[in-house]
């Protein structure tokens, strides 16, 4: 008879644990936030030019070649603010009129957006632009400090998108261009194309590509050290409408596909089509139930041994705008290759009035295996190239290019998972720390113009810092990494920044708790510096603790000297205190006693305290300390001490007020002085308290439900009061003698109302006094009739 209550209690505990775990995983706060005014980055932009979304690093020329709207720039790779050359690439009036006549905007759509830049073997660059919805490609050279457009225009259909805002991807492999985009004006013919002496493309079937959104493409040299004599492969990442799920609405899923570099198409079946095209679902599962997350960007971390290469990918939720979250998952080339080479296929079956469903194929596979590259086993059978493949193998892959198995991430779950502004682009840098280990540091661009630097330490997500790169909140469209420099492009400009600025860490405690693989504290020099990769770098001279965040080796800092400030009666006084970390809790003490946030005399911000209407009682010593928690330890640091002293002078000049740190009364309404300068700062300062609000509300609601369930069980007799509090069982109105239960009908109604009130006000601080003794006469309220049967044991 106790099973309903026990089940509810167990469910209650599990729900709270899961909710807190999900909350802590998603609401990750960057340790430092660098605003636009303090980012110290190098910027390039030109008036009237927009959409800096294509980059090509020419290390041999010392250039960052930048493609924008109707312009290509050659920037100094060490200082992008220096533009060495520029070439314009505008559309003709005829093309613009033609584009406008098709219903496109003349100043937005009907321009030439440079969407592709690739280097060829002879140093010439191959560029493609949208050209007013008429894609065109040309060659660009750089010589004598000048960029030059060769004027050898080629048709760009299938290489470059028609729509300037449609995603596409491409790569140049041995002078062959692999591209993924659309073949027509409407964007209804998606294609993965190889432009070479033997041009190949995908088949126009929904089972091959179903309204895809292409994201990334790269080559993996799988022929190296391959005992099977395998071929190199080109991998493509994209999202598309799933054909294998039966829903009323379209369900978008993420995919990874591959083709063989040596593919030449089929002899009769799949002529000039890929014979090695296979695709599989890319899984990046999050803890809470949700629709599949959609891939947005990919970065390939290459390794000398290709089997250890890793693809990092950014995913975003496809739920409503009120539940915006992003994730980063990582996949090894080996795991992806395993799904394609040994996994099961999906196949179409017709059921119930010609409805088509996709199920796992359990029949016998043709030989050679469909979708496989030409290897030693195929060559031993006389099949030397894809043109020699039998029709049975080609027909199978034509109808069944989809794998049944999904590719799982390395860790089985995301490396990074967070709510807030969506992540857009990502790059990863392998950093060797002072302990000799290599750590992958993720630089992730956001939709509001920030770059976040994050590391996953054995499953623990740590966001080292976030830097605002652009003045306006605009998405980061492209990220590139070269020799410890990060290049970011958006609609309005390009930014260059170092991967780490160790000088931002002002103390040993700040440096170590940052847990930045690039930085360590140098004890002799008393500064936070870049970790050298040379062997002579002695680890004993460096203090760095990445996984544990252990700053106990840091030397004791000198005591903070008090700053004397003058108190003027009636004024509002502000005392500054800047914490080193967003994760630190700021505490203020006055005369050795803590100041509470609820005190109406003060307003405590993230970086200051405001004292209203100062009086003589406010004079004294104010101490600001920060407490930062790291891996089970609290690190307390004194940030500032103020000695507030009374001044008898009544007239104080504005200059003196500014010097003393006192808010001026002139030109500032008194009401304005009592308003927070930035409410967001106050909320941010309350992070350690406000983060429990959700949990407290949930606990309160569930506790009320438990209380109601308990009272219902008492009322129904499922459990007795004796079992709960050690008294005799409570007699219900059902078994009380008539002489003991002589309430009127109105009393019965009141009793029910009291019972309902008891359920509704459980765990309420406001209503709780009504269930204690009367404060006026020390007696119980007479209208709560049910208490008679609890306290009056003589009648029982």
pLDDT in tens, 186-214: 999 999 999 999 999 999 999 999 999 99
C-alpha separations of 259 from 40, 234, 279, 380, 682 in Å: 44, 6, 9, 22, 54
Average pLDDT over residues 598-610: 89
pLDDT in tens, 262-296: 999 999 999 999 999 999 999 998 888 889 999 99
Residue 696 pLDDT class (50, 70, 90 cuts): low
Residue 720 is predicted with a pLDDT of 58
Residue 471 is predicted with a pLDDT of 93
Query: Starting at the edge strand that comes first in sequence, how are the strands of the sheet with 71-76 ordered?
Result: 54-58, 63-68, 71-76, 83-88
Residue 554 pLDDT class (50, 70, 90 cuts): very high
What is the rounded distance in angstroms from the CA atom of residue 543 to the CA atom of residue 519? 9
* Partners of 411 in the β-ladder: none
Q: Which residue has the tokens 């109601």?
A: 708
| Backbone conformation region of residue 210, classed left if phi is above 0, alpha if psi is from -120 to 50, else beta | beta
- pLDDT for residue 526 is more than 60: yes
pLDDT in tens, 569-594: 999 999 999 999 999 999 999 998 99
Q: Which two tokens stand for residue 561?
A: 């000297």
Residue 11 is predicted with a pLDDT of 41
- pLDDT for residue 738 is more than 60: no
Q: What rounded mean pLDDT belongs to the chain?
A: 83
Identify the CA nearest to 66 among candidates 493, 513, 624: 493
Query: Starting at the edge strand that comes first in sequence, how are the strands of the sheet with 478-482 ordered?
Result: 42-44, 494-498, 485-489, 478-482
- pLDDT for residue 524 is more than 60: yes
Q: Which two tokens stand for residue 380?
A: 């031993």
- pLDDT for residue 675 is more than 90: no
pLDDT in tens, 102-149: 999 999 999 999 999 999 988 999 999 999 999 999 999 999 999 999
> Taking the alpha carbons of 705, 710, 713, 718 in that order, is the dihedral positive or negative?
positive
Residue 290 is predicted with a pLDDT of 86
What is the rounded distance in angstroms from the CA atom of residue 477 to the CA atom of residue 622? 47
Helix, strand, coil share (%) of the chain residues, nearest 5: 20, 35, 45
Domains by residue range for the chain, with CATH: 32-46+423-555 (3.30.1680.10), 200-420 (2.130.10.10), 563-686 (2.60.40.10), 693-791 (no CATH)
- pLDDT for residue 614 is more than 80: yes
CB atoms within 10 A of CB 704: 16
Residue 584 is predicted with a pLDDT of 95
């Amino acid at each position: 008879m106790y099973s309903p209550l026990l089940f509810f209690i167990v469910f209650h505990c599990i729900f709270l644990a899961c909710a807190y775990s999900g909350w802590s995983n998603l609401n990750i706060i960057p340790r430092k936030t660098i605003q636009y005014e303090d980012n110290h980055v190098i910027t390039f932009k030109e008036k009237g030019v927009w959409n800096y979304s294509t980059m090509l690093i020419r290390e041999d020329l010392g250039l960052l070649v930048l493609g924008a709207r109707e312009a290509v720039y050659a920037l100094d790779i060490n200082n992008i603010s220096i533009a060495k050359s520029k070439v314009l690439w505008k559309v003709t009036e005829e093309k613009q009129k033609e584009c406008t006549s098709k219903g496109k905007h003349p100043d937005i759509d009907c321009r030439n957006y440079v969407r592709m830049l690739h280097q060829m073997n002879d140093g010439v660059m191959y560029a493609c632009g949208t050209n007013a919805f008429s894609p065109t490609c040309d060659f660009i050279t750089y010589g004598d400090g000048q960029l030059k457009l060769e004027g050898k225009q080629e048709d760009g259909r299938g290489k470059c998108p028609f729509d300037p805002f449609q995603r596409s991807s491409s790569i140049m492999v041995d002078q062959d261009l692999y591209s993924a985009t659309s073949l027509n004006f409407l964007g209804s013919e998606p294609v993965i194309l190889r432009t070479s002496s033997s041009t190949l493309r995908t088949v126009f079937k929904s089972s091959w590509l179903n309204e895809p959104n292409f994201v990334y493409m790269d080559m993996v040299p799988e022929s190296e050290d391959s005992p099977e004599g395998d071929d190199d492969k080109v991998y493509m990442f994209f999202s598309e409408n799933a054909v294998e799920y039966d829903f009323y609405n379209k369900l978008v899923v993420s995919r990874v596909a591959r083709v063989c570099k040596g593919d030449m198409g089929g002899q009769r079946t799949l002529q000039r089509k890929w014979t090695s095209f296979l695709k599989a679902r890319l899984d990046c599962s999050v803890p809470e139930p949700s629709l599949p997350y959609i891939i947005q960007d990919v970065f390939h971390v290459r390794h000398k041994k290709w089997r250890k290469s890793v693809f990092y990918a950014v995913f975003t939720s496809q739920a409503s705008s009120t539940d915006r979250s992003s994730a980063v998952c990582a996949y090894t080339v080996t795991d992806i290759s395993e799904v394609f080479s040994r996994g099961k296929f999906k196949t179409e079956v017709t059921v119930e009035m010609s409805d088509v469903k996709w199920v796992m194929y359990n029949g016998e596979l043709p030989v050679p295996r469909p979708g496989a590259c030409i290897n030693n086993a195929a060559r031993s059978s006389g099949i030397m190239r894809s043109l020699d493949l039998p029709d049975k193998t080609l027909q199978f892959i034509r109808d069944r290019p989809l794998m049944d198995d999904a590719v799982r991430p390395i860790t089985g779950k995301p490396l990074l998972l967070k709510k807030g502004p969506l992540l857009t682009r990502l790059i990863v840098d392998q950093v060797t720390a002072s302990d000799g280990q290599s750590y992958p540091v993720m630089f992730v661009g956001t939709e509001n113009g920030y770059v976040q630097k994050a590391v996953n330490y054995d499953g623990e997500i740590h966001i080292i810092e976030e830097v605002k790169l652009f003045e306006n909140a605009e998405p980061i469209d492209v990220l590139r990494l070269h020799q410890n420099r990060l290049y970011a492009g958006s609609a309005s400009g390009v930014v260059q920044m170092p991967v780490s600025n160790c000088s931002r860490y002002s103390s040993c405690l700040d440096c170590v708790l940052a847990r930045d693989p690039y930085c360590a504290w140098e004890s002799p020099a008393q500064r936070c510096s870049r970790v050298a990769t040379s062997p002579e770098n002695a680890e004993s001279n460096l203090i760095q603790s990445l996984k544990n965040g252990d700053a106990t080796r840091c030397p004791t800092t000198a005591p903070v000297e008090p700053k004397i400030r003058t108190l003027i009666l009636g004024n509002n006084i502000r005392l500054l205190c800047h914490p080193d970390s967003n994760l630190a809790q700021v505490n203020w003490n006055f005369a050795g006693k803590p100041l509470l946030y609820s005190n109406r005399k003060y307003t405590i911000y993230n970086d200051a305290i405001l004292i209203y209407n100062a009086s003589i009682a406010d004079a004294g010593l104010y101490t600001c300390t920060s407490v930062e928690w790291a891996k089970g330890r609290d690190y307390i640091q004194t940030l500032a001490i103020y000695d507030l002293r009374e001044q008898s002078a009544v007239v104080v000049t504005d200059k003196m007020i500014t010097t003393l740190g006192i808010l001026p009364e002139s030109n500032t309404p008194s009401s304005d002085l009592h308003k927070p300068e930035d409410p967001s700062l106050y909320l941010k300062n309350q992070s350690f308290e406000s983060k429990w609000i959700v949990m407290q509300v949930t606990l309160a609601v569930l506790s009320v439900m438990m209380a109601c369930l308990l009272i219902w069980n008492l009322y129904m007799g499922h459990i007795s009061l004796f079992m709960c509090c050690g008294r005799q069982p409570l007699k219900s109105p059902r078994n009380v003698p008539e002489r003991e239960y002589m309430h009127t009908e109105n009393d019965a109604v009141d009793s029910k109302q009291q019972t309902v009130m008891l359920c509704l006000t459980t765990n309420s601080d406001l209503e709780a006094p009504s269930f204690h003794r009367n404060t006026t006469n020390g007696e119980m309220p007479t209208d709560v009739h049910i208490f008679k049967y609890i306290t009056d044991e003589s009648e029982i």
